[in-house]
Homo-oligomer: A and B are copies of this chain.
Amino acid sequence: VTAPAITVTFLGTGSGVPSLHRNLACVALQRQGELFLFDCGEAAQIQFRRAGLGFAPLVGIAVSHMHGDHVTGLLGLLMSLQMADREEVLELYGPPGLADYVEQSRQALRTHFAYSIALQEQGCAAVLRETASYRLLAAPLDHRVFCLGFRMEEFPRPGRFDVAVARARGVPPGPLFGQLQRGEAVTLANGEVVRPDDVLGPLRPGAVIAYCTDTRPSAASIELARGADLLIHEGTFDAGMAHEARRKGHSTVADAARIARDAGARQLVITHISPRYQDVGPLLAQARAIFPETRIARDLMSVEVHHRESAEG
């Protein structure tokens, strides 16, 4: 069993008003020692502790939009990072208005952050962060107020090293194997050159996660979720409440399932559940009728996403 490429933990899965069973919007994404939060509703930092997560790996917090149920936990978390003597930069990504909110609240609450906050406001599609192995993207969704969806997208991984082919080409086991695996050409004792492409299989897909809330069903969600291993999409209402959902800038669980299907996502977790639903059985059935690989999020539920060996895998 290999380690998961990415682990997603749902810290809050409710909408609007917290209930005894659903806290407000917050999702943690862990990838190779880095941790990101998507949205930061009230009590996010408490759920963060409850999930056993630590502050040290926290790299960034992505805020979808400036509605209270997605941001009222942000200041408390920033203050707790200060009290934990954080020294590393914290990245904050979100819509226009986020910087003013953070700064005004900081002043009103007479607090001070000794660590740096690298805050990006994005009013259109953008790459928020890019490393050698992944990028984090944002794109506008379709809500009552300006709202960003997010996509964490690993770059394709090198193909698998084919030991048999390498041996057949005359490469001796040892350091030359490592050079080839790292993508470097090697010259054999007989003067022959072996290139990585000769001994590596086809590129293997990286893991992809999309996070789309709050939004009406939208083409932007489909693009963000294209081929994703996991789509996290809001489904505030049941399938019978499409009109109400549209009016309020939201999706039904059936909308979420159609987005997952149309995007070719591998699995869907529906979150941002209205507090009106105690029993989510009917919601699940409605979504699975359209997209079978669906779950309804619960607070503190974790989903592990594993790397696939091929585009079909």
Nearest-CB distance from A24 to chain B (Å)? Answer: 8
| Chain B residue at smallest Cβ distance from A16 | B83
- Chain B positions within 8 Å of A292 at CB level: none
From B49, B66, B71, A20 is in contact (CB under 8 Å) with: B49
A205 at the interface (CB under 8 A from B): no
- Residues of chain A in range 1-49 having any CB-CB distance to chain B below 8 Å: 16-20, 23-24, 42-43, 45-46, 49
Contact A104 B108 (CB under 8 A): yes
From B23, B79, B101, A109 is in contact (CB under 8 Å) with: B101
- Chain B positions within 8 Å of A73 at CB level: 42
A302 at the interface (CB under 8 A from B): no
- Chosen A-B contacts, 16 in total, with CB atoms closer than 8 Å, are A17-B80, A18-B80, A19-B49, A20-B50, A66-B108, A67-B109, A68-B75, A68-B79, A68-B109, A69-B79, A71-B109, A72-B72, A72-B75, A72-B79, A100-B108, A110-B145
Q: Number of contacting residues on A, CB 8 A? A: 36
Q: Which residues does A use to contact B, with CB under 8 Å? A: 16-20, 23-24, 42-43, 45-46, 49-50, 66-69, 71-73, 75-76, 79-80, 83-84, 97, 100-101, 104-105, 108-111, 145
